[in-house]
């Protein structure tokens, strides 16, 4: 499989950088597994962001990548997938694109392991990632004490509450607003 620009050699594929619960070993990876089993996604490898970006936890320990370049101390580690249009629609629903939870935007990432075929250089790849919606990103950053993580790992994920176990009396967007406004 050849990566070129923002797509993989087959038509109608989008490269998606996953940094949170869609990664292998985490709660929402079952969706990625389903997409893979139906040929709607392919795991490409472990990648890291080009820019230092904040990765924080929101309400219920949900991870959010903030589109605030240069404010984070880390390049964020994650996984790169090639996803079909049908798979992308399912990811957009999970990520609450139409509800203002996340927005899918461009990101530049590099493979974690240097490619010997390129003289040991890391080759930049343009992909897309689900960033926290811009309407609350700065408030989320402040609420997290302007401290983020390099990776959503098992230690960071300890506070994560699955969607089906969260309170149902408020929308997730309302929970985000409450989280950002609390001390």
pLDDT tens digits in sequence order for the chain, 183 residues long: 445 555 455 557 999 999 999 999 999 999 999 999 999 999 999 999 999 999 999 999 999 999 999 898 999 999 999 999 999 999 999 999 999 999 999 999 999 986 656 666 778 999 999 999 999 999 999 999 999 999 999 999 999 999 999 999 999 999 999 999 987
Predicted pLDDT of residue 1: 44
> Which one, of 62, 183, 81, 36, lies nearest residue 133 by Cα?
62
Predicted pLDDT of residue 120: 66
Q: What is the DSSP letter of 161?
A: -
Question: Are 152 and 23 within 8 A, CB to CB?
Answer: yes
Predicted pLDDT of residue 3: 52
> Which one, of 131, 134, 35, lies nearest residue 91 by Cα?
35
* Active-site entry in 95, 138, 150, 174: 95
Predicted pLDDT of residue 2: 47
Total-model pTM: 0.90
Question: Are 8 and 42 within 8 A, CB to CB?
Answer: yes
95 counts as catalytic: yes
Predicted pLDDT of residue 85: 96
């Amino acid at each position: 499989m050849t990566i070129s620009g923002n797509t993989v050699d087959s038509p109608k594929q989008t490269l998606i950088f996953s940094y949170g619960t869609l990664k292998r070993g985490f709660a929402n990876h079952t969706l990625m597994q389903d997409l893979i089993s139906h040929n709607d996604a392919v795991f490409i490898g472990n990648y890291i962001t080009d820019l230092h970006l904040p990765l924080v936890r929101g309400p219920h320990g949900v991870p959010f990548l903030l589109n605030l370049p240069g404010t984070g101390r880390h390049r964020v580690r994650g996984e790169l997938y090639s996803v079909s249009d049908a798979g992308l629609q399912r990811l957009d629903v999970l990520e609450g694109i139409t509800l203002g939870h996340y927005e899918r935007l461009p990101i530049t990432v590099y493979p974690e392991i240097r490619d010997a075929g390129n003289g040991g250089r890391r080759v930049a790849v343009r992909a897309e990632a689900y960033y926290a919606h811009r309407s609350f990103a700065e408030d989320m950053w402040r609420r997290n004490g302007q401290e983020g993580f390099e990776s959503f790992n098992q230690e960071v994920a300890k506070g994560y509450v699955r969607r089906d176990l969260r309170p149902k009396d408020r929308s997730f967007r309302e929970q985000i607003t409450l989280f950002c406004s609390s001390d």
